[in-house]
């Protein structure tokens, strides 16, 4: 395949889901089976094309990056003799091909799974249409070669998320969650927009390549490295919103109100990964300071989400917090400079987290049907306290869930182990170079907590006895259309797909394909060089692996001690650490604080504005009205008395004069004759006088 054919191929991959969306939204209900096969077919086609692209790109052109673009808007002449134009275009490099394959693969599996899960839904067609729109937007983010298009697709992803979280909008909680997700994302997006505009103001272009070239040539935004750091952090704000990083992580758990396959697709595997992808994309222009901020935000996110996950009882909420925590890991990895490891965690996490959510969907689907048969509409189908002992009833779901849990906990031989281990080694290397020892510490604690809460979930939901035997008597394994995607994803959770060495990703194809790009910022602000960093990582890799296996093992052991063998009472443990426990249960008060500060603050501000409106603006308007009324009253007086008076006066005078003269006209001929004679005499006398 020629290099040039990559661009039309990529366009095809991008536009196929859009075509599916347009067809479904306008004509979906008229199609047989309400069009689900069409959506699934186009996304499968996209996936196959992406896979081809991935293989060809990595196999034959591993070092090339292809750009295809055209001027969209030409705004005039910019400085330095170039034209100021907004370009649309596609950039294909290794990062892109890996990402589109992940997106289309997860999306395809979710499409298949949804055929089973969403069966009989009221808005079945619309659901599949939105899935297509979402895939299109996500692919757009990945394929674009400039920041403006990325921002446009970024917002499209946001609106898809809104539409899909609010799919069951009759539920108040679902529509609230949709609003919350959208609004919280806007906060991050505003920062991202400012960041993009800082770059555009200075470089007159949105294109990554041109911006990178300018910066590597030593041109800085407003001439200072501080502004470059600021631009980097502001663009990262977009990632904070979309990837649910501290302090904007609050929307993701609520987003679980959407259908479970949506949680798998958007809120675990792809949309939230967009933030990580954004950081990877702008990595070359991030300064050391910006990267440090990013690393700390990632670490804080990983830790607080992991602690909250321990205390949750809702099946999907546990997974939601684990997603936030894992996203924190990716951001942490990128922040410390373990670029390939962070991005690899995105890919491996996409597979096993999509799997976890689809397994959750399978469990919830089965629970729901079992409860429905028993006419039980009060028991929460998502509460793990109502489950237990599902292992024997749902063997396929159980065994795939075990594999996903092992992967997310970072147990050797799984994909999660490879990527997480590299990230932890990266943090260790970073701290040994810069002295930020908090980062690896948090990383390892969060790794232990991850293993603990994931096994807690596994044990509570699948092991042990039924919480209520009769209630779940009718529980059945989910249909094939749902279990096969699970098996595919379980397969992809093994190390073999990413590296042939189960204890080191560095020698695998992934690390060969995804190389950390050269930093382009001025030398003083550069993060630790890739070569030195790589050497340090190799030095600490053994220790990192050892500790990571140790904490994961400890976490798993702890989970079994507390929840399976009941050697330690969970309640007692909670009361020992009552402050920590309550904090975690209340999600570290983020929602409460945001409610108090922002929601109440907004309402209070609205009240003040309303007062201002009512008193000042209304007063002004009413005052104007009163003045205008008085003026017009004056005008009216002038009209009635002066203008009308003049006219009536003239008429009156004419009338009177007419009446007076009319009296002369008696109608009697003789009178006239008298006048004539009299007049004649007068004239005659006058004549004689002269």
Contact set with other proteins (CB under 8 A) = 661-670, 673-674, 677
CB of 668 to other proteins, least distance (A): 5
Closest C-alpha to 280, from 139, 102, 90, 142: 142
Cα 331 from Cα 294, distance rounded (Å): 7
Minimum distance, C-beta of residue 650 to other proteins, in the bound complex (Å): 20
Closest to other proteins by CB, 531 vs 669, is 669
CA distance 233 to 610: 36
Q: Is the separation of the CB atoms in 422 and 283 below 8 Å?
A: no
CB nearer to other proteins: pick between 579 and 669: 669
Residue 416 has a CB neighbour count (10 Å cut-off) of: 28
* Interacting residues of 189 by C-beta distance below 8 A, sequence separation 6+: 151, 154, 155, 158, 237, 238, 241
**Residue 671 beta carbon to other proteins: minimum distance, rounded to whole angstroms:** 9
**Toward other proteins, which CB reaches closer, 435 or 662?**
662
Least spacing, CB of residue 677 vs other proteins, in Å: 7
Does the bond joining 247 to the residue before it have cis omega, within 30 degrees of 0? yes
Measured distance CA(126)–CA(121) in Å, rounded? 10
How many angstroms separate the CA atoms of 433 and 536, rounded? 8
**Residue (55 or 681) nearer to other proteins, CB:** 681
Q: Cα-flanking dihedrals φ and ψ of residue 167, to 5°?
A: -60, -40
Smallest distance from the beta carbon of 679 to other proteins, in angstroms? 14
Pick 219 or 676: Cβ nearer other proteins? 676
By beta-carbon proximity to other proteins, the closer residue of 377 and 668 is 668
Smallest distance from other proteins to CB 683, Å: 16
550 vs 674 by CB, closer to other proteins: 674
Query: Quick one: which of 125, 117, 178 has its CA closest to 486?
Result: 117
The whole-angstrom separation of Cα 325 and Cα 437 is: 19
In whole angstroms, how close is the CB of 628 to other proteins at the nearest point? 50
Q: For residues 336 and 476, what is the distance between their CA atoms, to the nearest angstrom?
A: 46
Q: How far is the CB of 659 from other proteins (least distance, A)?
A: 9
CB of 676 to other proteins, least distance (A): 10
Task: Tell me the C-alpha distance between 59 and 49, whole Å.
Answer: 15
493 contacts 314 by C-beta, under 8 angstroms:
no
In contact, 440 and 424? CB cutoff 8 Å: yes
Closest CA to 187 of 602, 583, 609: 602
Nearer to other proteins, 435 or 667 (CB): 667
Nearer to other proteins, 377 or 663 (CB): 663
Dihedral through CA 320, CA 321, CA 323, CA 329, nearest 10? 170
Cβ closer to other proteins: 567 or 663? 663
Coil, strand or helix at 629: helix
**Residue 398 corresponds to which tokens in the numbers above?**
């159980």
In whole angstroms, give the CA distance from residue 627 to residue 630. Answer: 5
Of residues 660 and 686, the one with the C-beta less far from other proteins: 660
Query: Measured from the CB of residue 685, what is the shortest distance to other proteins in angstroms?
Result: 16
Residue 662 to residue 250: CA distance in whole angstroms: 98
Give the residue from 309, 305, 490, 477 showing the smallest Cα distance to 405.
490
Eight-class DSSP state of 639 = I
- What's the burial of 463, exposed, middle or buried (CB within 10 Å: 0-12/13-18/19+)? middle
Closest listed residue to residue 451, CA positions, set 353, 553, 358 = 553
Q: Which is nearer to other proteins, 592 or 673 (CB)?
A: 673
Q: Would you call 71 helix, strand, or coil by DSSP?
A: strand
We find the least distance from the C-beta atom of residue 661 to other proteins, in angstroms, to be 7
In this structure, the number of other CB atoms found within 10 A of the CB of residue 598 comes to 13
Name the minimum Å distance from CB 647 to other proteins: 24
524 versus 664: smaller Cβ distance to other proteins: 664
CB of 662 to other proteins, least distance (A): 4
């Amino acid at each position: 395949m020629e290099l040039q054919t990559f661009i039309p191929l990529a366009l095809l991959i991008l536009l196929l889901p859009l075509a599916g969306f347009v067809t479904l939204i306008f004509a979906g209900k008229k199609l047989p089976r309400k069009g689900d096969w069409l959506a699934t077919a186009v996304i499968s086609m996209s996936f196959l094309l992406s896979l081809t692209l991935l293989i060809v790109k990595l196999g034959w052109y591993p070092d090339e990056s292809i750009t295809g673009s055209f001027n969209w808007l030409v705004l005039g002449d910019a400085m330095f003799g170039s034209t100021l134009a907004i370009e649309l275009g596609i950039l294909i490099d290794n990062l892109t091909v890996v990402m589109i394959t992940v997106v289309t693969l997860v999306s395809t599996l979710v499409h298949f799974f949804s055929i089973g899960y969403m069966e009989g839904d009221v808005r079945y067609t619309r659901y599949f249409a939105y899935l297509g729109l979402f895939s299109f937007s996500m692919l757009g983010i990945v394929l674009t070669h400039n920041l403006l298009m990325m921002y446009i697709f970024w917002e499209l992803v946001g609106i898809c998320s809104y539409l899909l979280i609010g799919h069951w909008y009759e539920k108040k909680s679902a529509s609230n969650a949709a609003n919350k997700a959208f609004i919280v994302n806007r906060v991050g997006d505003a920062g991202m927009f400012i960041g993009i505009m800082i770059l555009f103001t200075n470089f007159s272009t949105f294109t990554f390549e041109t911006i990178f070239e300018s910066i590597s040539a030593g041109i800085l935004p407003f001439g200072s490295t501080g502004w470059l750091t600021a631009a980097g952090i502001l663009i990262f704000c977009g990632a904070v919103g979309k990837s649910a990083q501290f302090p904007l992580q609050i929307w993701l758990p609520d987003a679980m109100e959407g259908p479970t396959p949506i949680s798998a697709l958007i809120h675990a595997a792809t949309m939230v990964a967009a933030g990580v992808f954004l950081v990877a994309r702008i990595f070359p222009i991030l300064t050391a300071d910006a990267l440090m901020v990013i690393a700390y935000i990632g670490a804080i996110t990983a830790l607080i989400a992991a602690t909250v996950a321990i205390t949750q009882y809702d099946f999907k909420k546990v997974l939601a917090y684990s997603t936030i925590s894992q996203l924190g890991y990716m951001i942490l990895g990128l922040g410390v400079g373990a670029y390939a490891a962070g991005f690899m965690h995105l890919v491996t996490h996409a597979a096993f987290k999509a799997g976890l959510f689809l397994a959750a969907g399978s469990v919830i689907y089965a629970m729901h049907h079992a409860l429905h048969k028993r006419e039980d509409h009060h028991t929460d189908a998502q509460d793990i306290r109502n489950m237990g002992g599902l292992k024997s009833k749902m063997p396929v779901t159980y065994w795939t869930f075990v594999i996903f849990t092992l992967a997310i906990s970072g147990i050797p031989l799984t994909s999660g182990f490879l990527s997480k281990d590299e990230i932890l080694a990266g943090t260790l290397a970073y701290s040994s170079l810069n002295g930020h020892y908090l980062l690896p510490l948090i990383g390892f604690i969060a790794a232990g907590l991850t293993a603990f809460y994931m096994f807690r979930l596994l044990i509570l939901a699948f092991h042990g006895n039924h919480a209520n035997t009769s209630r779940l008597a009718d529980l059945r394994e989910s249909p094939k259309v749902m279990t096969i995607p699970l098996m595919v994803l379980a397969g992809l959770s093994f190390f073999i797909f990413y590296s042939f060495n189960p204890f080191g990703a560095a020698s695998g194809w992934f690390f060969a394909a995804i190389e950390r790009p050269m930093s382009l910022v001025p030398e003083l602000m550069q993060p630790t060089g890739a070569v030195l960093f790589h050497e340090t990582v190799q030095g600490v890799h053994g220790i990192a692996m050892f500790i990571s296996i140790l904490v994961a093992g400890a976490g798993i052991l702890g989970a079994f001690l507390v929840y399976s063998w009941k050697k330690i009472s969970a309640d007692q443990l909670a009361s020992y650490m009552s402050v920590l426990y309550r904090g975690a249960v209340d999600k570290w008060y983020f929602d409460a604080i945001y409610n108090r500060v922002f929601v109440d603050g907004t309402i209070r501000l609205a009240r003040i504005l309303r007062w201002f409106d009512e008193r000042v603006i209304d007063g002004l308007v009413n005052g104007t009205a009163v003045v205008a009324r008085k003026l017009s009253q004056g005008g009216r007086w002038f009209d009635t008395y002066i203008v009308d008076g003049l006219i009536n006066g003239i008429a009156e005078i004419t009338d009177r004069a007419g009446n007076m003269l009319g009296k002369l006209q008696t109608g009697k001929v003789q009178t006239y004759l008298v006048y004539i004679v009299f007049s004649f005499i007068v004239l005659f006398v006058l004549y004689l006088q002269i």
